[in-house]
Structure 1
Amino acid sequence: MKTRVGKILAIVVVFVAGPLAMSLARAAADNPTNSSAPEDEAAIKQVVAGFSEGWNNHDAHAMCASLADDVQWVSWRGEVSHSRKQVEDDHATLFAGLYKNSRRTDTVKAIRYLTPELASVDDFWSMTGAKMRDGTDWPYRAGYVNFLMAKRGGRWVIIVSHTADFNAKAPDPAR
């Protein structure tokens, strides 16, 4: 009798408890913490708003205020910067030239909390008033940026930024 109960128990574990545990583990892995305190969501959106405000004032220092010192920044052209200072210097040059009349609008589309202190932020952006490198008008641009933000010292900062420009053109293959 003991072996029969043991076999039944083993079957229950294999066919019921095992798959249940696997599906719960899979659900947890597929769905990281997607909710955090409301003040975190507001703070993250404020980081994006401050970035946009700095851009629209053509103030590279203000635009970069919420970037980590060791940010990894990948521009829409695929250029990589590894510090807030480098991003700030590059944008100061752009604001003095190609982007001096630009206006940018940012809309946070999604925030996914990977941990309570790490969030992936999807942001749709559009821009008017920019110039192309050849000096011609670039009347409208739009794209997506993914910010990876970390809560450091109680403050959300951008630690990684990857930007896509929907209007970007492929480089000339002859170059």
Structure 2
Amino acid sequence: MFDESAERQAILDLGRALEDAWNRGDVAGFASLFTDDADFIAWNGQYGQGRQAIEDGHRPLFDGPLAGSRIALVGGDSEPAHFESLRFIRPDVAIMVTSGAVTLAEQKATDPDHESIQTFVLIKDGDRWRATGFHNTRRQLQS
């Protein structure tokens, strides 16, 4: 039996796990939350396919310009958890749209040009949700 409330919580937990791995600088842990064949489109349009490509693509970032950075996907530490949208296509497939923001190590607050909207395609693998598709788009600054 499909329990939407429990599945929404499990997906929220996945979002928190993604945040936690990023915020610890754990590139392998971050990539482990994606399927082996996941598609990943970064904010700048770069495309990677597969968990290993996600890990390999993020390693130089975590070791370089994003070292010590923090990410907020589903609300962050000081905000209530939320999604822009979460809908179930089937009991084992969901699309989550969420706001995201990266705050660099030396920053107290996120630069407006680092705010994004992100779309995840999620699948339930056994009793665990994983991301199988991800697209990150920077929000356009209003003038």
Normalised by the size of structure 2, how large is the TM-score? 0.81
- Give matches, 1:105-116, under 5 Å: 105-107=72-74, 108-116=83-91
Mapped to 2, the partners of 1:167 and 1:74 lie a distance apart of: 17
Q: For residues 58 and 105 of structure 2, what CA distance do their matches in structure 1 show?
A: 13
Q: Is 1:72–1:159's contact at 8 Å kept on the other side of the alignment?
A: yes
C-alpha distance in 2 between matches for 1:130 and 1:80: 25
Tell me if 1:119 matches 2:94.
Answer: yes
> For residue 164 of structure 1, what is the aligned residue in structure 2?
137
Alpha carbons of structure 1 residues 97 and 121: separation in structure 2 relative to 1, 3 Å = same
Conserved? CA contact 1:36–1:113, under 8 Å: no
2: CA distance, partners of 1:167 / 1:85 = 30
Query: Higher helix fraction: Structure 1 or Structure 2?
Result: 1
Q: In the TM superposition, what is the alpha-carbon distance from 1:96 to its structure 2 partner? A: 0.5
Question: Number of aligned pairs?
Answer: 128
Task: Kindly indicate whether the alpha-carbon contact (under 8 Å) linking 1:98 and 1:130 is maintained by their aligned counterparts in 2.
Answer: no
Query: Is the counterpart of residue 56 in structure 1 residue 23 in structure 2?
Result: yes
The unaligned stretches of length 5 or more in structure 2 are: 75-82
> 2 CA distance for matches of 1:64 and 1:109?
23
The structure that has the greater radius of gyration is 1
1:38 is matched by which residue type in structure 2?
S
- Give the root-mean-square deviation of aligned CA atoms: 2.1
Out of 34, 38, 47, which is 2:5 matched to?
A: 38
With structure 1 as the length reference, what TM-score do the two structures score?
A: 0.67
Distance in 2, matches of 1:77 and 1:150, equals 25
Deviations 1:101-137 (A, max 9, x none): 3111112222110111110001111121169xxxxxx
User: Whole-Å Cα distance in 2 between the matches of residues 79 and 116 of structure 1?
Assistant: 30
Aligned structure 1 segments of 4 or more residues deviating by more than 4 angstroms: none
Residue of structure 1 equivalent to 2:122: 149
For residues 102 and 140 of structure 2, the distance between their equivalents in structure 1, rounded to whole angstroms, comes to 11
CA deviation vs aligned residue, 1:60-104 (integer Å, no higher than 9, x gap): 111122100000111111111111011011111101001013111
Q: CA deviation at 1:167?
A: 5.6
